[in-house]
Amino acid sequence: MMNAHLHRQPVAIDRERHRQACVRWPVTDWAVASRLNSIPVTGAEFGPACREYPVVFIAGGNDDAGQPQVLPVALLGLAPDENLFIGEGGAWRAQYLPGLLRTYPFGISRMDAQRFAVCVDAGWAGVQLAGGDGEALFGADGEPTEFLQRTQKLLEQIEVEVQRTRVFCRKLQDLGLLREVRLDATLADGQKIAVEGFMTVDEAKVKAMADADVLEMHRNGMMSLVHGHFLSMGHMQRLLDWRSARVQAAAAAASASAVTQAA
């Protein structure tokens, strides 16, 4: 899976063209993700992700059958192009890093219904397609290095989990359990914000589910994902606190600058 706000210049890896390619990995400066206000997560990630991020649902275009689909995302910011999980020096402010970030600058792009290509973000400074320092993608014999092989396996595992997660989301849609939500909040400085464009599972509708549906979702593990989602919503307050701190820091910096200029 590729993300346009993260993989800004994806290039399919080719053993002939990229024989000398190297990547400085792992990523330590996440400034590259500063405009990423959410990141897709799979059902397999709900356990660790729900302990640190609000996990919500957003529209994800249409599936292969032309039906509207949704996907779960870890919410990273409260406004477009805002990532509150990036701290000083580009450090990530959470212990768990979602899979699509752990594999960056790599990703998988679908070529057609059957074929996929492993890509790398050539627009990131840590990617050196003509050679340099870092992890080599190919050995002297032209074969993929162990590093590239491990990365490809991880990407393939994520893609498998993406497909499984779509089944979970389809179940939520078929049962009518999702509802659109708008969050209105007031920050510490009195600024009012509104966050919309996402969906949550309607707890009242879950309680009203038919026993057969509850039993099915319990046995196939889907109900545990729903409960993880409910727990994750408590982290919205963390984002509000971080937004308030960022606004206050910006105001303090502006005030200090004005004083310096006046002097």
If one counts the domains in the chain, the total is: 1
Q: Is residue 2 included in any domain, yes or no?
A: no
Instruction: Give the number of other CB atoms < 10 A from CB of residue 128.
Output: 17
The reply to whether 77 falls in a domain is: yes
Structure tokens at 108: 């998988």
pLDDT given at position 63:
79
Amino acid, res. 45? E
pLDDT at 115: 77
Any domain includes 99: yes
Residues of the chain with pLDDT under 70: 112-113, 255, 257-263
Rounded to two decimals, the pTM is 0.91
Taking alpha carbons only, the member of 97, 53, 98, 92 closest to residue 76 is: 53
Helix, strand, coil distribution of the chain in percent, nearest 5: 40, 25, 40
Decide if 129 is inside a domain. Answer: yes
Q: Round the average pLDDT of the chain to a whole number and report it.
A: 91
Q: For position 116, what pLDDT does the model report?
A: 84
Largest interatomic CA distance in the chain: 73
- Confirm whether 1 is domain-assigned: no
pLDDT (0 to 100) of residue 227:
97
Domain that holds residue 192: 10-258
The answer to whether residue 94 is domain-embedded is yes
Q: Which pLDDT score, from 0 to 100, does residue 259 have?
A: 62
Q: Characterize the bridge pairing of strands 38-40 and 116-121.
A: unpaired
Residue 3 falls within a domain, yes or no? no
- Tell me, what's the pLDDT at 263? 61
Give pLDDT, residue 66.
Answer: 79
Residue 4 belongs to some domain of the structure: no
